[in-house]
Amino acid sequence: MEKNIEELRNVALVAHVGSGKTSLAEAMLFNGKAITRSGKVDDGTSNLDFEPEEIKRGITISTSFHNLAWKKHTINLIDTPGDDNFLSDTKFSLQAADGVVLVIDATAGVKVGTEKVWAFADEEELPRIIFINKLDRERADFFKVMEEASQILDIKATPVFLPIGAEDKFEGLVDLIRKKAYFYSKDGSGKFESSDVPNDMEGIFEEWREKMLENIVEVSDELMEKYLEGEELSPAEIEETFTQGVKSGRIVPIACGSAILNMGVPQLMDLIIQGLPSPLERGSQEGTKPGSEEAVERPSSVDAPFSALVFKTVADPFAGKLTLLRVLSGTLKSDSTVYNANKEAKQKFGQLLLMEGKKQRPVEAAGPGDIVAIAKLKQTSTGDTLCVENDPVVYKSAESIPPVISYAVGAKVKGSEDKVFTSLAKLLEEDPALKMERDQSTAEIILSGAGQIHLEATCEKLNRKFGVEVDLSLVKVPYRETIKKPVQKVIYRHKKQTGGRGQFAEVHFDVTPLDKGSGFEFDEALSGMNVPRNFVPAVEKGLNEALTNGILAGYPVVGLKVRFYDGKSHDVDSSEMAFKIAASMCLKKALQEANPTMLEPIMELEVTVPEEAMGDVMGDLNGRRGRVLGMDSKDRYQVIKAQVPMAEVLMYALDLNSLTGGRGTFWMKHSHYEEVPAQLTEKVIAASREKE
């Protein structure tokens, strides 16, 4: 088993959407004989993008897993989403990896998604390899993209392969370390012939080999001395130091090829085995004792107590819930019991499963570095630690990316609201980037996510998996109503005489405004016996009911105090009902005299944008009645802090995307309420009347 761990590589493929990482994964699986033919994303036959929502859009929406054998090693492939809408899944899934291959499209270069996934790999401190893909395409430019990557990602470009030819004349690679050339047949078989470096490439080969060596010798002082004194470095010394540099993250090697044509992929697979660490080489995992800050270390060995991190959950209507975990120490066997340290609960389970694309294969046991799934673990969710009960540990999990767009969700079929709620709750377990809440003031179910496509795909999945159809609509802005001036001695008499017993109640109120952020205060200041005290609760109840529905546009009323100081009652005709009605009508009368006004929610907004887009974004915020509070710089980005009315930023995610070419990000949260400007108050009132 120990030997086994050394031969395991957990590799996440990451990229900006559309760079070809799923096609690369297909070629690797084909080369490792895990599949008999390479699937294609474009025609929906991919082994890894198999969900209907993925086939429809031609992108990865949910991370998928597969494994293959290559040169006596096992490679666990983790194919992650690159689209902005689904990056939370990528972030969580990187917790299962020991190394990363970043795929860059040779025709498009480094995009905003490339930078984001690179930052995730930084957070997890994962060693990485860059693969420049699509060299067979028109306008592919290896050297330009390599230059761009070293600048934007702030690395020393260390190419270990150079392409032979470009675009439709791309024929193979030159190996800078081993001084060889590999010529490919372009049939997707991954077969190639080795030969000497072509004569016409001698110059460029020498130039880049020199640059590569300069980067490699920096890893070892001993080698650096030899190199500077002009001594010949042996191939073994170069390879050994290179491997050391990649595993430690000091060297980021650059490989290249075409995933679709399976050119350069076998060399990349060799590089993964040579340069990326095994779970054993990643060293001990650090966690804490449950309920304390005390550090606990777990070595990545089979003999250590069992521990694992749950990094993903899949809601499957047939198999129930699938919990995906990465074993960090010890061994886990099928049909046993584990302890969930976060929930302090024992969990019994049956079969351990290995994920292979859309299929699952049962396995008997899993050791350090293994990525397995367990079905129907009731209390366990993404981010939990599973371990042994007598020696528990909690690992820190990645945090979800905060949602940026919200919609109100309504059931298409009347009466199926509860089913919508319960089915959505199951999808929330699967997708930490989704948030759902019931807005108390508007009674809407609000669904928030990472973008428009994220929420649309969620609704499609809801329908496909649980047969629930929903509509998305704009969130209602929770306006409030309040008063601006105090009114004294407001009197209302409720009197009804019809056959039989009548109704009678009279109340006297003083109404005063409070601070904008405050609610409602009731002050019972009766003296004398005009109103029996048993009617006071009815008066308060009448007021509370009246406050839910303001007189301007029917929004809840806040920020006022009612002093109930006198009234009149009748021995026979007074009742709780009569006093409730009198209180409600008296408040409405007072509101009309007290200069009523509308309040709107103001959001605190933090927008991170590239320098060149700053002017546009600031101008846009001003146009949304925003107040810019300050600015900071963070790396190559500017961070703008502002306060903006909620009504103006309901669809901000989409607008910011178009303003910044997808490079802007933001988060926002509720800050406070402010008065709506007079000209807009009319519009809000008119809109609410129209709805009625």
DSSP strand pairing (371-375 vs 435-438) = unpaired
Domains in the chain, CATH or no CATH each: 2-209+252-275 (3.40.50.300), 285-387 (2.40.30.10), 405-460 (3.30.70.870), 481-594 (3.30.230.10), 598-691 (3.30.70.240)
pLDDT band at 379 (very low <50, low <70, confident <90, very high): confident
Phi, then psi, of 167 in degrees rounded to 5: 50, -130
Q: Rounded to whole angstroms, how far apart are CA atoms 404 and 652?
A: 8
Q: Residue 633 and residue 342: Cα distance in Å, rounded?
A: 37
**In the predicted structure, residue 55 carries a pLDDT above the cut 60:** yes
Question: Would you call 583 exposed, middle or buried from its count of C-beta atoms within 10 A (0-12, 13-18, 19+)?
Answer: buried
How far lies 468's CA from each of 55, 154, 322, 415, 641, in Å? 21, 47, 21, 12, 39
Q: 574-610: per-residue pLDDT in tens? A: 999 999 999 999 999 999 999 999 999 999 999 989 8
Lowest mean pLDDT among 180-194, 328-342, 404-418: 404-418
Q: What is the pLDDT of residue 402?
A: 84
pLDDT digits (tens, 9 = 90+) for 280-336: 988 888 998 988 889 999 998 898 999 999 999 887 766 678 899 999 999 999 999
pLDDT at 319: 66
Token pair in block for residue 338: 């584990």
Q: Determine if residue 393 is left, alpha or beta; phi over 0 gives left, psi from -120 to 50 gives alpha, anything else beta.
A: beta
| 349 in Cβ contact with 300 (< 8 Å) | no
Strands of 470-474's sheet in order across: 435-438, 445-449, 405-411, 470-474
Residue 292 has a pLDDT of 87
CA distances from 271 to 160, 370, 449, 576 (A): 10, 21, 37, 83
> Do residues 33 and 56 lie in contact, with contact meaning Cβ atoms separated by under 8 Å?
no
Residue 584 CA from chain centroid, whole number: 47
> Is the confidence at residue 406, as pLDDT, over 80?
yes
Q: CB within 8 A of 406, min separation 6: which ones?
A: 446, 447, 448, 449, 475, 650
For residue 43, is pLDDT > 70?
no
pLDDT in tens, 641-687: 999 999 999 889 889 988 988 888 888 888 999 999 988 999 999 88
pLDDT for position 126:
95
Asked whether the predicted pLDDT for residue 184 surpasses 50, the reply is yes
Cβ atoms of 142 and 169 closer than 8 Å: no
- Quote the DSSP letter at residue 401: P
Position 198 pLDDT exceeds 90: yes
pLDDT digits (tens, 9 = 90+) for 253-268: 999 999 999 999 999 9
| 559 vs 597: CA distance, rounded Å | 11
Whether residue 53 is predicted with pLDDT greater than 80 in this model: the reply is no
> Of all residues in the chain, what percent carry a pLDDT higher than 70?
97
Length of the chain: 692
Q: Out of 59-63, 296-300, 427-431, 562-566, give the one with best mean pLDDT.
A: 562-566
Instruction: Give the pLDDT score at 3.
Output: 47
Residue-level pLDDT at 689: 84
